[in-house]
Amino acid sequence: MKMMLIQQLVSVLLSMLTPELMRSAIDRILDIAEDAARDSKTPVDDAIVLPLCMQIRKAFDIPDND
């Protein structure tokens, strides 16, 4: 019974996800990662996380407009 309920819930959630909504969610997640990397004291974050976020943005055409 629980499994059927979970499957139906996931199905409804997936039907609500539009490409624009997914793009917006990914943009927010990347913003959080970029801000955390910039705010950290270690230079490793800047060298790894920021370029990785930039590549993800480029690959999925998600501009950083903020």
**Is residue 41 assigned to a domain?**
yes
pLDDT at residue number 65: 82
Mean pLDDT by 10 residues, the chain (66 residues): 92 89 93 95 92 96 88
Which residue range is the domain that position 36 belongs to? 18-66
**Is residue 42 assigned to a domain?**
yes
**Is residue 7 assigned to a domain?**
no
pLDDT at residue number 47: 94
pTM of the model: 0.75
- Burial classification of residue 61, based on how many CB atoms lie within 10 Å of its CB (0-12 exposed, 13-18 middle, 19 or more buried): exposed
- The answer to whether 64 and 30 have CB atoms below 8 angstroms apart is yes
Rounded CA gap, 41 and 8, in Å? 44
Number of separate domains in the chain:
1
Measured from the Cβ of residue 6, the count of other Cβ atoms closer than 10 Å reads 10
pLDDT at residue number 13: 87
